[in-house]
Amino acid sequence: MTYCVGIRLDAGLVFLSDSRTNAGLDQISIYRKMMIYEKPGDRFMVMLSAGNLSISQSVREILQVEKLDNGDQPPLTIWNATSMFDATRVLGSAVRRVYEQDGPSLKQTGVDFNASMIFGGQIGGEAMRLFLVYSAGNFIEATRETCFFQIGESKYGKPILDRVLTPKTPLDEAAKCALVSMDSTLKSNLSVGLPLDLLVYREGEFATDQYVCIDEHNPYFAMIRGTWGQRLREVFEGIEDPQWDADAHSNFPLHVESPRYEPMRKITHPGEKIV
């Protein structure tokens, strides 16, 4: 399994992915799930992938040469598309081509066609955009109301993203939030593992030097893992325990009188026959 997150902010984009792939308890391998497509000064795109490794690897290779019919114009590719929307259409076409090639064979062997991608970046002449591409090749776009996407084992790391991220969040703070989200996932799910790939892209630059591979020896991530757990325990311990027999002076009583929420009870009386 895997966990990947992509974040679109006013200031730029943040991408984070793990690298663990497993096909059973004794078949654990490391495969990078982040791919960068870059033409300095013109376009900068990043793809994160989750799901069946053979499918995502095939999509990754085909995407670099995939051509999409464009009417009377030259065929669309990710290298000549004038918008991230059109580049994502090319990615969707690559996904469908892999399905046409491998889908029937996978179905015959009882394997689902399971792959999803986060694809985002910036092409000269338009703003940054971020998309979530499904296994059918269709996709949705991030908005100001929903400024991040997750794929893979997303449930463990989602709460911190929901509570912290807004479009105005600074890039470094968003990168920190993504790493905390990843740490929560690593803590709760063994199918996600190090090393991690973290990339931060600043709006309008069409290149980045803020890219790092994080392993178990990385001092910043080690600090995140230790500090986040410790601070969570401190906050938890600072919250009052439930006050079951609270008096009128209690600030946060747990038990309050309310006939609407009285429990359903069956009370037996002496001598009553129970059937």
pLDDT tens sequence across 210-260 = 999 999 999 999 999 999 999 999 999 999 888 887 676 778 888 777 777
Average pLDDT value for residue range 122-147: 98
Do 14 and 175 contact (CB within 8 A), yes or no?
Answer: yes
Provide the percentage of residues in the chain whose pLDDT is more than 70.
96
Q: Is residue 190 part of a domain?
A: yes
**137-151 pLDDT, tens per residue?**
999 999 999 999 999
Residue 266 lies in a domain: no
Q: Which of 81-90, 228-237, 261-270 has the lowest mean pLDDT?
A: 261-270
Give the pLDDT of residue 250: 75
Number of domains in the chain: 1
b/e sequence 71-98, b meaning 16+ C-beta within 10 Å: eeeeebbbebbeebebbbbbbbbbbbbb
Say if 63 falls within a structural domain: yes
pLDDT at 263: 72
- Please tell me the predicted confidence (pLDDT) of residue 246: 65
Burial class (CB in 10 A: 0-12, 13-18, 19+), 67: middle
As given in the structure block, the two tokens for residue 131 are 């998309």
- Give Dmax (Cα) for the chain: 91
Tokens 């008096």 label which residue?
A: 247
**Spatial contact of 166 and 10, defined as CB atoms under 8 Å apart:** no
Q: How far apart are CA 116 and CA 125, in angstroms?
A: 27
pLDDT at 130 over 90: yes
Amino acid found at 123: I
Question: Which element (helix H / strand E) includes 253?
Answer: none
Phi, psi of 15 (to 5 degrees): -130, 140
Per-residue pLDDT band at 22 (split at 50, 70, 90): confident
pLDDT at 264 over 80: no
Structure tokens at 211: 């890219």
Residue 43 pLDDT > 90, yes or no?
yes
Residue 8 near residue 201 (C-beta atoms within 8 A): no
**pLDDT for 23 beyond 80:** no
Q: Which two tokens stand for residue 108?
A: 């015959």
Angle, helices 171-188/219-238, rounded to nearest 10 degrees: 80
User: What is the CATH number for 57?
Assistant: 3.60.20.10
Per-residue confidence (pLDDT) for residue 251, from 0 to 100: 81
* 121 class by beta-carbon count within 10 Å (0-12 exposed, 13-18 middle, 19+ buried): buried
Number of Cβ within 10 Å of residue 166's Cβ equals 11
Is the Cα torsion angle 258, 260, 262, 263 positive or negative in sign? negative
pTM of the model: 0.92
CA 175 to chain centre: 13
Look-up of token digits 């081509």: 97
- Please give the single-letter amino acid code of residue 19: S
Q: Does any domain span residue 260? A: no
Q: What's the one-letter identity of residue 54?
A: S
In a domain, 268, yes or no: no
**What's the pLDDT score for residue 24?**
62
Total residue length of the chain? 275
- The pLDDT tens digits for 45-82 are 999 999 999 999 999 999 999 999 999 999 999 999 99
Provide the domain limits for residue 59: 3-232
Characterise 82 by phi-psi region: left (phi > 0), alpha (psi -120 to 50), beta (else).
alpha
Q: By the 8 A CB rule, do 147 and 9 touch?
A: yes
CA 1 vs. chain centroid, Å, equals 12
Mean pLDDT confidence for 105-119: 96
The predicted-structure confidence for 167-219, as pLDDT tens digits, reads as follows 999 999 999 999 999 999 999 998 899 999 999 999 999 999 999 999 999 99
Has residue 105 been placed in a domain? yes
